[in-house]
Amino acid sequence: MFADDCEMAYGEQAALVGVLAQLQPVLALEIGTYEGGSLALIAKFVQQVHTFDLVSHVKKPLPNVTYHLGDSRRTVPALLSGFAAAGQSVDFVLIDGDHSRKGVAADVANLLDSPAVTRAVVLLHDVANEGVRAGIRDAGLNRPKIAYANLSFVPPWEHTPVLREVWGGLGILVIDEDGDFWPRERRIDTNVAWPTAVSRSPLWHAVRPVRVAKRIASYKVRPLVRQVRGSRGASLTQPDED
């Protein structure tokens, strides 16, 4: 029933599959391929998928998926510009790539700024993380095209110690620029302003500077680790041209 090679908890997988089954997308994007666990779930429901990562970690490509390598801050806008010029619209997006605050903000903003994303559902993974959540807010969610925003759509499944980074959870953005896609009340849920997906203790809030320092240090090292580990699947895909 659930995929063990997916970086999502079982409840997150169920939510992902449920959204895809209801939406039945024709064209989808995934930012953050890694080993392709969530990508395999998406590809079962979508005719055409484009997935993005810095380097390749996949072992076997899927027939209805196009793999893009490189910085998503360049590769995603380039593809979206092509879609817009061709009159194509993206139906579904999963964002689970660069987890730094600036990286998340860039990925979300690039999607929301694109004329190729006007009627879509966007799922965002790891919204329990403070940096990820702040990056989503930095992208600017008070836009007319956003009909619904909820950053605690699926809360994280485990409780973490106060000094550890919190991960997991799914957020959702419903994009409805023309007003004919989302029939319910248009709103930004209050949980968008929360620092994480669930309520935490005063001690958790007090040691936030320590977690921030650890996060900054880890993101200085992580790109180098990804480049080294990605060499095993690099032959399956080619980098996008600048």
Is 236's pLDDT higher than 80? Answer: no
**pLDDT confidence of residue 228:** 62
Please name the residues in contact with 32: beta carbons below 8 A apart, sequence gap of 6 or more: 52, 53, 94, 95, 96, 97, 98, 125
Q: How confident is the model at residue 207 (pLDDT cuts 50, 70, 90)?
A: confident
**pLDDT confidence of residue 232:** 38
Average pLDDT over residues 200-225: 72
**Backbone conformation region of residue 130, classed left if phi is above 0, alpha if psi is from -120 to 50, else beta:** alpha
Is 18's pLDDT higher than 90? Answer: yes
**pLDDT confidence of residue 211:** 75
Give the global pTM. Answer: 0.85
Instruction: Spell out the domains of the chain, with CATH numbers in brackets.
Output: 10-236 (3.40.50.150)
**pLDDT confidence of residue 150:** 97
List C-alpha distances in Å: 138 to 85, 103, 108, 182, 192: 27, 10, 9, 24, 11
Is 183's pLDDT higher than 60? Answer: yes
Max distance between CA atoms of the chain, in angstroms, equals: 52
What distance in Å separates the CA atoms of residue 197 and residue 168, rounded to the nearest whole number? 9
Is 105's pLDDT higher than 60? Answer: yes
